[in-house]
Amino acid sequence: SAVISQKPSRDICQRGTSLTIQCQVDSQVTMMFWYRQQPGQSLTLIATANQGSEATYESGFVIDKFPISRPNLTFSTLTVSNMSPEDSSIYLCSAGGPLPYGYTFGSGTRLTVV
Amino acid sequence: GEDVEQSLFLSVREGDSSVINCTYTDSSSTYLYWYKQEPGAGLQLLTYIFSNMDMKQDQRLTVLLNKKDKHLSLRIADTQTGDSAIYFCADPHSGNTPLVFGKGTRLSVIA
């Protein structure tokens, strides 16, 4: 199964600024997914990123706030724009792949907005 | 849409068995997964079960699947303090669709 390197692992940011989170996969994967995990909560899907096309966003998430890039089959970024304290969460990327071992996760980015 | 439900908390004594339960709604699932998340960490695939199986055993872990009732359980034998974590069941549909997660069960192991 693919191994994902996600960075930064954590950051503290000022409100109104933006942060870009990067995920590098050690093999080519068709689909990547971005999740948000608020404190004590489960994972909520933000968007699905397919290489060569625009990301597909879930209800409640918009491209202006969470722009995603997927320039090739091994890399994706998620930007959290114009941050507010409500954006404080863990953000995780995931790669889809052949079952059963296909799904792997980055180690997460713990974001605190002050 | 797909829904996955779990109980939120479980507390057991060290050495006892833990049983974490999950129900799901998608009858077309090929595999069902259990993930473990330790504090401050990402998700680790713990085990999975193929949908045509009733049971899978992997060392201290036993997964039971009742496809008729759409019920999945994870049993951890001889639970240790290192097993304290949040456990998520997840349904993938296929390898190109996002996992649908339950809310997670927080397992606390009392020494």
Cα separation values, A79 from A28, A39, B8, B20, B90, Å: 22, 20, 31, 35, 26
- For residues B86 and B24, what is the distance between their CA atoms, to the nearest angstrom? 18
Looking at residue B18, its pLDDT comes to: 97
Residue range B8-66, pLDDT digits in tens? 999 999 999 999 999 998 777 788 999 999 987 888 889 999 988 999 999 999 999 99
Give dist(CA B7, CA B73) in Å, integer. 11
Cβ A60 vs Cβ A16: under 8 Å: no
Q: Which of A10, A91, A103 to mutate to test the interface with B (most CBs of B within 10 A)?
A: A103
Place of tokens 């397992």: B107
Q: What is the CA A8 to chain-centroid distance, rounded?
A: 11
pLDDT at B94: 66
Residues B96, A31 contacting (CB under 8 angstroms): yes
User: For chain A, where are the E strands, in sequence order?
Assistant: 4-7, 10-13, 19-25, 31-37, 43-50, 56-57, 68-72, 75-80, 89-95, 104-105, 109-113
For residue B9, what are the CA distances in angstroms to A37, A98, B60, B67, B108?
A: 18, 32, 20, 24, 8
Q: What is the pLDDT of residue A67?
A: 97
Task: Say which residues have a Cβ less than 8 Å from residue A48's Cβ, sequence separation at least 6.
Answer: A31, A32, A33, A55, A56, B98
Spatial neighbors of A70 by CB under 8 A, at least 6 apart, are A32, A49, A50, A51, A52, A55, A76
User: How confident is the model at residue A101, as a pLDDT?
Assistant: 74
Per-residue pLDDT of chain A (114 residues; tens, 9 = 90+): 789 999 999 999 999 999 999 999 999 998 999 999 998 888 999 999 988 888 999 999 999 999 999 999 999 999 999 999 999 999 999 998 777 777 889 999 999 999
* Residues 13-52 of chain A whose Cβ lies under 8 A from any Cβ of chain B: 30-31, 33, 41-43, 45, 48
Res. B104: pLDDT tops 80 = yes
Give the type of residue at A109: T
Contact between residue B104 and residue A37 where contact means Cβ atoms under 8 Å apart: no
Encoded tokens for A5: 């390197």
Choose among A42, A92, A96: nearest Cβ to B42.
Answer: A92
Q: State the pLDDT at residue B95.
A: 62
pLDDT of B97 > 90? The answer is: no
Q: What is the pLDDT of residue A110?
A: 95
Q: Which of B45, B95, B101 sits opposite A42 (nearest CB)?
A: B101
pLDDT of B1 strictly over 80: no
Between residues B91 and A92, which one has the greater pLDDT?
A92
Contact B109, B84 (CB under 8 A): yes
A101 in B contact zone (CB under 8 Å)? yes
Determine the 3-state secondary structure of B29 from DSSP: coil
Nearest CB neighbour to A107, from listed B42, B50, B95: B42
